Amino acid sequence: MTSPDVDIPTPLQDQVQAYLNHLTIERGLSENTMAAYKHDLKRYLTYLTQEKVCEVSNISTHHVAGFVQALSSGSHHMGQLTETSINRILIAARGWHRFMFLEQTTEENPAVDIKPSNTGLYLPESLSIEAMTQLLEAPSADTAQGLRDRALMELLYATGARITEAIELDVDDVVSLQHGETTVVRLFGKGSKERVVPLGSYAVEALHAYLIRGRPQLVSGGKGSPGLFLNRFGGRISRQTGWNAIKQAAEAAEINVDISPHTLRHSFATHLLQGGADVRVVQELLGHASVTTTQIYTHVTPDTLREVFALAHPRANSA
């Protein structure tokens, strides 16, 4: 269920837009992140309008707390959301109020004492190395689309790239496919921050096959595009096309778990750390601004802890 359309007062709209402009210009957030902020803050403004609030200066702690309760209970046509979704929306609202306070638009920050709940440790889903191999080998090597899909997934897993970063790649962003030379790819992450990530031999082989035998067929269907991954009309593929390619490969490989492009990113990080990679190196490869974000992948199970302790501690077991 989504919130109903209401006539949101212009002052509230203008003040939220000022915050969105700040996020875009000063913090350089990506288009997808900005769309999420806009959607979440519109939900908040809808609630405030239903509560007859027309100015940000009239918003109280009571309103912020009431909004969180509405999200949790499904009242005010908000739709009953998960705790994770509620926390995300609250973070957007808190960011707006903090901005209004720092810009001296309001004398107080009504959201300062309304904090996201502790939802516990979130562990990203990842595939085993065996399942990942089955997924990557699922697309056909006999069609242009199959070659493209295999190259796309090999690149996602080889670099930990986000799907948006991958579909926005140009051919020139892949540097050196020559035998014996290290091939790297230039990725542009959040805030247009560039990072250079090396490609392994499997990804290089898949990309080479696609560029030689697949992409020329796809580019012939359009007017020409610098994009690396193309659709059948010769244009750059969409996020949805990338998602569908992975879903279809998972079905073909008979992998019966929910898989998304982020699954490949999570698997990339998990497998690197399991292989002994330093967390700060993985941070750089993923393009995380903080190592704290990367450290979530270093979580180990109690069974693993007990096993390591038993093997490593000199007094874990009596003789």
> How does pLDDT run across 123-147, given as a tens digit for each residue?
567 899 999 999 999 999 999 999 9
Cα gap 48→56, rounded to integer Å: 9
Confidence (pLDDT) at 1: 39
Let me know if 229 is exposed, middle or buried by CB neighbors in 10 A (0-12, 13-18, 19+).
buried
> How does pLDDT run across 22-62, given as a tens digit for each residue?
988 877 777 888 898 999 999 999 999 999 999 999 999 98
Confidence (pLDDT) at 308: 59
> How does pLDDT run across 284-307, given as a tens digit for each residue?
999 887 777 777 776 654 555 566
Percent of the chain at pLDDT exceeding 90: 50
Cα gap 117→167, rounded to integer Å: 35
**Residues with active-site annotation:** 162, 190, 262, 265, 288, 297
Confidence (pLDDT) at 295: 73
Cα gap 104→99, rounded to integer Å: 8
Q: Is 135 helix (H, G, I), strand (E, B) or coil?
A: helix
pTM of this structure: 0.64
Give the confidence band of 78 by pLDDT, cuts at 50, 70, 90. Answer: low
> How does pLDDT run across 204-216, given as a tens digit for each residue?
999 999 999 999 9
Beta carbons within 10 angstroms of residue 107's beta carbon: 8
Tokens 């702690």 appear where? 61
Tokens 């940000």 appear where? 56
Q: Smallest Cα–Cα separation from 3: which of 32, 51, 54, 44?
A: 44
Contact 44, 89 (CB under 8 A): yes
Q: Is 303 helix (H, G, I), strand (E, B) or coil?
A: helix
Confidence (pLDDT) at 225: 86
Give the confidence band of 228 by pLDDT, cuts at 50, 70, 90. Answer: very high
| Residue 279 reports pLDDT greater than 90 | no
